[in-house]
Amino acid sequence: MDEAFELGNRVRKDFPILNRLVKGKPFVYLDSAATTQKPIQVIEAIKNYYETFNANVHRGIYSIAEEATAAYENAREKVARLINARSPREIVFTRNTTEAINLVMYSWGQNNVREGDMLLATEMEHHSNLLPWHILSKSKRANLKLIGFDKEGFLRLDELEKYKNEDVKLFAFTFASNVLGTINPVRELVKYAKEMGAVTVVDAAQAVPHMPVDVQQLDCDFMAFSGHKMLGPMGIGVLYGKERLLEEMEPFMVGGEMVKTVGFESSEWNDVPWKFEAGTPNVEGAIGLAAAIDYLQHIGMDVIRRHEIKLTEYALDVLVRIGEITYYGPSSPEQRCGLISFNLKGIHPHDLAMFLDNEGIAIRAGHHCAMLLHSKLGTVASARISFYIYNIPSEVDLLVKSLEKIKRMLGI
């Protein structure tokens, strides 16, 4: 077997949930784009926190409070190293990608966008990187324009040319589409934005967990991603922002911890990044995320990327042999992340997902929080399979076998 496929077999022992049965059949999890399963190392890290040094952070001067604070800030440092941020001060912990992008919209957008300004996004955005700009454009009477994509799932970069002489304040785009799988040319898009004088907001929820990402090399202004999509727990997300921009921004939420001094009529905010982390933070989430980063970096992000390319290549090859399947996005696995959205003629994606669940196979079905994208594809929904480090070719074979079974049942 190809060396790239050995990763899945090697790590599966670390994921307890993969040993269970569903409907009496071996569990096949093909929905990692929605959330990833957790290795025992992450589960144990969270358990150890609650059993040995559970305390609030930044406040107590007793031993376990100092231990909790150190672990929380250590997690921030690990995130910074993972994406090569210049400083941990450029890392803000949020609940998820959605909150991170909303933070930018409220803290930067509401204070920098003016009536008549231009905002750019793309037609392939997840709702988390589209709806905030709807709100901003409406509240500020700004103009929101969307860059389209072609039949292969690639952005129409030529459409950017017509905005070069406009007063574009912001360009928000996904690093990798959660439906098409398309990996966008982030560095090139950032360059376009700089020529227009626009700030960039990159949704990297489907990128940071799956491939090497270097924010300094990309030179983006903001980047958002979620811990639960990279083996970490739910409820912890990350906003990377250039320190200069974060310093200039007002806080998104106010309350405890994010303030230095409070007077009768005014207050002085804390330093970045803490001025954006009001209230008790998700300490267990940060600790779990740190353990997840350790796990991923031990494997190597380049190794993870090669594994997903090979698995996606294999899946594309066997799926097209079935017939009556339409898949969306680039045909080359090197140009897409490890997910495939498709439709099987004659069956709604929801019905397909229910059938596959009876076979022990978990996939996603629906519009994947990308209704506009599906509208552009001419469909209301799609089925989606998505891979991660623990997936192996035999799971793809089981999927194909089940799809052929349903085709026979329906006479497709």
Q: Is 302 left (phi over 0), alpha (psi -120 to 50) or beta?
A: alpha
Q: Which two tokens stand for residue 167?
A: 């007063």
146, 317, 359, 371 from 30: Cα distances, Å: 31, 17, 13, 21
Question: Amino acid letter at 344?
Answer: L
Residue 126 CA, distance from chain mean position: 10
For residue 401, count CB atoms less than 10 angstroms from its CB and return exposed for 0-12, middle for 13-18, buried for 19 or more: exposed
* Residue type at 334 in one-letter notation: E
| Cβ proximity of 39 and 295 under 8 Å | yes
Q: How many CB atoms lie within 10 A of CB 95?
A: 17
**Cα-based angle 318, 212, 369 (whole degrees, multiple of 5):** 60
Q: Is 369 a catalytic residue?
A: yes
Distance between CA 195 and CA 59 in Å, rounded?
Answer: 44
The C-alpha atoms of residue 56 and residue 71 are separated, in whole angstroms, by: 11
Residues near 150 by beta carbon (within 8 Å), at least 6 away in sequence: 156
* Residue 333 neighbours by CB under 8 Å, 6+ apart: 309, 310, 312, 313, 316
Residue listed under structure tokens 């450029």: 90
Residue by residue, DSSP assigns 74-86 as: HHHHHHHHHHT-S
User: Of 135, 144, 253, 369, which residue is the catalytic one?
Assistant: 369
Residues involved in catalysis = 369
